[in-house]
Amino acid sequence: KIRAAVFASGAGSNFQAIMERSDLQCDISLLVCDKPSASVLEKAENFGVPTFVFDPKKYASKSNYEKEVVRRLQQANISWIFLAGYMRIVGPTLLNAYETKIINIHPSLLPYFPGKDAIGQAYQAGVSTTGVTVHYIDEGIDTGTVIAQEPVEVFSDDTEETLKERIQQVEHRLYPIVINRLMK
Ligand code: GAR
Protein backbone atom coordinates (compact mmCIF):
# COMPACT_ATOMS: atom_id res chain seq x y z
CA LYS A 1 0.00 0.00 0.00
CA ILE A 2 1.11 3.55 -0.73
CA ARG A 3 2.34 5.34 2.37
CA ALA A 4 1.19 8.94 2.77
CA ALA A 5 1.61 11.75 5.30
CA VAL A 6 -0.98 14.31 6.36
CA PHE A 7 0.29 17.79 7.29
CA ALA A 8 -1.92 19.80 9.65
CA SER A 9 -1.64 22.81 11.97
CA GLY A 10 -4.99 22.95 13.73
CA ALA A 11 -8.12 21.09 14.69
CA GLY A 12 -7.61 18.21 12.29
CA SER A 13 -11.19 17.64 11.19
CA ASN A 14 -9.97 16.83 7.67
CA PHE A 15 -7.34 14.47 9.07
CA GLN A 16 -10.12 12.74 10.99
CA ALA A 17 -12.34 12.49 7.90
CA ILE A 18 -9.48 10.89 5.95
CA MET A 19 -8.79 8.43 8.78
CA GLU A 20 -12.46 7.48 9.09
CA ARG A 21 -12.73 6.55 5.44
CA SER A 22 -12.78 2.77 5.69
CA ASP A 23 -11.73 2.07 2.09
CA LEU A 24 -8.85 4.58 1.91
CA GLN A 25 -6.48 3.44 -0.83
CA CYS A 26 -3.30 4.35 1.10
CA ASP A 27 -1.86 4.15 4.60
CA ILE A 28 -1.64 7.40 6.55
CA SER A 29 1.72 6.55 8.08
CA LEU A 30 2.71 9.94 9.53
CA LEU A 31 1.14 13.16 10.72
CA VAL A 32 3.40 16.20 10.39
CA CYS A 33 2.46 19.18 12.55
CA ASP A 34 4.10 22.59 13.01
CA LYS A 35 2.09 23.52 16.12
CA PRO A 36 2.99 21.65 19.31
CA SER A 37 -0.38 22.68 20.85
CA ALA A 38 -2.61 21.71 17.90
CA SER A 39 -5.52 19.44 18.75
CA VAL A 40 -4.91 17.35 15.62
CA LEU A 41 -2.16 15.70 17.70
CA GLU A 42 -4.70 14.12 20.05
CA LYS A 43 -6.59 12.83 17.03
CA ALA A 44 -3.40 11.27 15.65
CA GLU A 45 -2.80 9.58 18.97
CA ASN A 46 -6.36 8.23 19.00
CA PHE A 47 -5.86 6.72 15.56
CA GLY A 48 -2.38 5.44 16.43
CA VAL A 49 -0.73 7.51 13.71
CA PRO A 50 2.91 8.44 14.44
CA THR A 51 3.60 12.17 14.50
CA PHE A 52 6.48 14.45 13.70
CA VAL A 53 5.93 17.74 15.52
CA PHE A 54 8.29 20.66 15.05
CA ASP A 55 8.41 24.29 16.09
CA PRO A 56 9.49 26.46 13.14
CA LYS A 57 10.75 29.14 15.55
CA LYS A 58 13.46 26.76 16.67
CA TYR A 59 14.98 26.56 13.19
CA ALA A 60 17.07 29.22 11.47
CA SER A 61 15.06 29.07 8.25
CA LYS A 62 12.30 27.33 6.33
CA SER A 63 14.84 25.26 4.43
CA ASN A 64 16.31 24.08 7.74
CA TYR A 65 13.04 22.71 9.10
CA GLU A 66 11.97 21.40 5.72
CA LYS A 67 15.22 19.42 5.46
CA GLU A 68 14.33 17.77 8.75
CA VAL A 69 10.76 17.15 7.57
CA VAL A 70 12.02 15.55 4.34
CA ARG A 71 14.37 13.35 6.36
CA ARG A 72 11.45 12.13 8.50
CA LEU A 73 9.27 11.54 5.45
CA GLN A 74 11.97 9.48 3.76
CA GLN A 75 12.62 7.51 6.95
CA ALA A 76 8.93 6.59 7.00
CA ASN A 77 8.87 5.73 3.27
CA ILE A 78 6.28 8.37 2.51
CA SER A 79 5.46 8.90 -1.16
CA TRP A 80 2.46 11.27 -1.00
CA ILE A 81 1.66 14.36 1.11
CA PHE A 82 -1.86 15.58 1.85
CA LEU A 83 -1.99 19.09 3.31
CA ALA A 84 -5.05 19.45 5.54
CA GLY A 85 -5.08 22.82 7.23
CA TYR A 86 -1.28 23.12 7.16
CA MET A 87 -0.92 26.88 7.45
CA ARG A 88 2.59 27.30 6.04
CA ILE A 89 3.86 27.95 2.56
CA VAL A 90 5.68 24.94 1.17
CA GLY A 91 9.23 25.94 0.23
CA PRO A 92 11.55 24.61 -2.48
CA THR A 93 13.22 22.05 -0.19
CA LEU A 94 10.00 20.11 0.39
CA LEU A 95 8.56 20.85 -3.03
CA ASN A 96 11.61 19.52 -4.90
CA ALA A 97 11.69 16.36 -2.78
CA TYR A 98 7.99 15.60 -3.41
CA GLU A 99 7.29 17.24 -6.75
CA THR A 100 3.78 16.43 -8.08
CA LYS A 101 3.09 14.43 -4.90
CA ILE A 102 1.77 17.21 -2.65
CA ILE A 103 -1.90 18.16 -2.68
CA ASN A 104 -3.88 20.63 -0.60
CA ILE A 105 -7.50 21.31 0.30
CA HIS A 106 -8.58 24.93 0.34
CA PRO A 107 -11.94 26.33 1.49
CA SER A 108 -12.84 28.45 -1.57
CA LEU A 109 -13.27 28.09 -5.31
CA LEU A 110 -9.71 28.96 -6.34
CA PRO A 111 -8.49 31.26 -7.85
CA TYR A 112 -10.95 33.21 -5.66
CA PHE A 113 -9.94 33.87 -2.06
CA PRO A 114 -6.49 32.29 -1.82
CA GLY A 115 -4.38 32.46 1.34
CA LYS A 116 -5.58 32.77 4.90
CA ASP A 117 -9.18 32.91 6.11
CA ALA A 118 -10.71 32.08 2.74
CA ILE A 119 -14.13 31.52 4.34
CA GLY A 120 -14.07 34.92 6.06
CA GLN A 121 -12.86 36.56 2.86
CA ALA A 122 -15.74 35.07 0.86
CA TYR A 123 -18.27 35.92 3.57
CA GLN A 124 -17.10 39.54 3.77
CA ALA A 125 -17.12 39.84 -0.02
CA GLY A 126 -20.81 38.87 -0.04
CA VAL A 127 -20.53 36.27 -2.81
CA SER A 128 -23.51 33.97 -3.33
CA THR A 129 -21.36 30.91 -4.05
CA THR A 130 -18.02 29.79 -2.66
CA GLY A 131 -16.77 26.24 -2.22
CA VAL A 132 -13.88 23.85 -1.87
CA THR A 133 -10.83 23.16 -4.04
CA VAL A 134 -8.33 20.31 -3.99
CA HIS A 135 -5.19 21.22 -5.92
CA TYR A 136 -1.57 20.34 -6.46
CA ILE A 137 1.00 22.43 -4.63
CA ASP A 138 3.39 24.54 -6.65
CA GLU A 139 5.69 27.39 -5.63
CA GLY A 140 2.83 29.94 -5.42
CA ILE A 141 0.18 30.41 -2.73
CA ASP A 142 -2.86 28.29 -3.69
CA THR A 143 -1.98 28.53 -7.40
CA GLY A 144 -1.30 24.89 -8.32
CA THR A 145 -3.29 22.83 -10.81
CA VAL A 146 -6.86 22.19 -9.68
CA ILE A 147 -7.81 18.52 -9.22
CA ALA A 148 -11.40 18.91 -7.97
CA GLN A 149 -13.79 21.65 -6.97
CA GLU A 150 -17.23 21.69 -5.41
CA PRO A 151 -19.39 24.78 -5.00
CA VAL A 152 -21.11 25.70 -1.74
CA GLU A 153 -23.97 28.18 -1.76
CA VAL A 154 -23.93 31.09 0.69
CA PHE A 155 -27.39 31.56 2.20
CA SER A 156 -28.68 35.01 3.11
CA ASP A 157 -29.07 33.96 6.75
CA ASP A 158 -25.60 32.37 6.97
CA THR A 159 -23.18 33.49 9.62
CA GLU A 160 -19.50 32.91 9.03
CA GLU A 161 -19.83 29.96 11.41
CA THR A 162 -22.70 28.24 9.60
CA LEU A 163 -20.96 28.80 6.26
CA LYS A 164 -17.77 27.28 7.64
CA GLU A 165 -19.69 24.22 8.87
CA ARG A 166 -21.20 23.60 5.44
CA ILE A 167 -17.87 24.12 3.68
CA GLN A 168 -16.12 21.73 6.02
CA GLN A 169 -18.79 19.06 5.51
CA VAL A 170 -18.00 19.23 1.81
CA GLU A 171 -14.26 19.08 2.53
CA HIS A 172 -14.65 15.97 4.67
CA ARG A 173 -16.54 14.17 1.91
CA LEU A 174 -14.48 15.44 -1.03
CA TYR A 175 -10.89 15.01 0.21
CA PRO A 176 -10.99 11.22 0.77
CA ILE A 177 -12.70 10.73 -2.62
CA VAL A 178 -9.99 12.71 -4.42
CA ILE A 179 -7.25 10.92 -2.50
CA ASN A 180 -8.63 7.52 -3.48
CA ARG A 181 -8.84 8.59 -7.11
CA LEU A 182 -5.17 9.68 -7.09
CA MET A 183 -3.93 6.49 -5.41
CA LYS A 184 -5.16 4.31 -8.26
C1 GAR B 1 -9.80 23.56 6.44
O2 GAR B 1 -11.02 24.22 6.22
C3 GAR B 1 -8.86 23.74 5.28
O4 GAR B 1 -9.50 23.80 4.04
C5 GAR B 1 -8.22 25.07 5.61
O6 GAR B 1 -8.00 25.00 7.00
C7 GAR B 1 -9.05 24.23 7.60
C8 GAR B 1 -8.43 23.21 8.53
O9 GAR B 1 -9.41 22.58 9.32
N10 GAR B 1 -6.99 25.24 4.89
C11 GAR B 1 -6.55 26.43 4.46
O12 GAR B 1 -7.13 27.49 4.69
C13 GAR B 1 -5.27 26.39 3.67
N14 GAR B 1 -4.96 27.66 3.11
P15 GAR B 1 -9.09 21.20 10.03
O16 GAR B 1 -7.80 21.39 10.84
O17 GAR B 1 -10.26 20.99 10.95
O18 GAR B 1 -8.96 20.14 9.01
Candidates 35, 43, 106, 172; catalytic one: 106
ipTM over 0.95: yes
pLDDT tens, residue by residue, 56-69: 999 999 999 999 99
CB 52 within 8 A of CB 28: no
User: Can you tell me the distance from the alpha carbon of 103 to that of 5, in angstroms, rounded to the nearest whole number?
Assistant: 11
With a Cβ cut-off of 6 Å, ligand 1 is lined by 8, 10-14, 84-85, 105-107, 118, 168, 171
The confidence score (pLDDT) of residue 42 equals: 98
The residue whose CB lies within 8 Å of the most ligand 1 atoms, and thus the one to mutate among 13, 37, 133, is 13
pLDDT tens, residue by residue, 95-108: 999 999 999 999 99
* 25 Cα: distance to centroid of ligand 1 (angstroms): 22
Amino acid at site 129: T
pLDDT tens, residue by residue, 142-175: 999 999 999 999 999 999 999 999 999 999 999 9
| CA dihedral (88, 94, 99, 100) positive or negative | negative
CB 170 within 8 A of CB 132: yes
The confidence score (pLDDT) of residue 105 equals: 98
Q: What secondary structure letter does DSSP report for 124?
A: H
Average pLDDT of the segment spanning 18-24: 97
pLDDT tens, residue by residue, 32-56: 999 999 999 999 999 999 999 999 9
Active site residue 106: yes
